[in-house]
Amino acid sequence: MGTGTQYPTRYLGDANPYRKKHVHDTANEKRSCTLHALEWARNAVPFDTLEQAYAAGYAPCLFCLPQEPGAD
C-alpha cells in the first residue's frame, strides 16, 4: 500500500501549524492519513523513531498508528 512516495524517514510529523501535531508511520500509510497531503518538504518533520516524535510533542495518528496509546 501507500502512494509510492519516497519519504526520508519511517516516521513523519505534521508540522502544519493549523493542525494538531500528529506523527505518521510511512510504512503503514492509510488513505485516511493526511500524510499524502503533507507538503512534506515544508510541513513534515522526519523522525527515525516514535520516541523522538513523542519527545517533540507529537501524538500518534489514529489511522496508521492505532495501536499506540493516545492515538487520535
User: Which residues bind to Zn ion, rule: CB under 5 A?
Assistant: 24, 33, 61, 63-64
| Residue placing its CB nearer to Zn ion in the complex, 19 or 51 | 19
Q: Which one, of 68, 15, 8, lies nearest residue 37 by Cα?
A: 15
Shortest-Cβ-distance residue relative to Zn ion: 61
Q: How far is the CB of 26 from Zn ion (least distance, A)?
A: 9
| Residue placing its CB nearer to Zn ion in the complex, 2 or 41 | 2
Taking residue 3's Cβ as centre, other Cβ atoms within 10 Å add up to 12
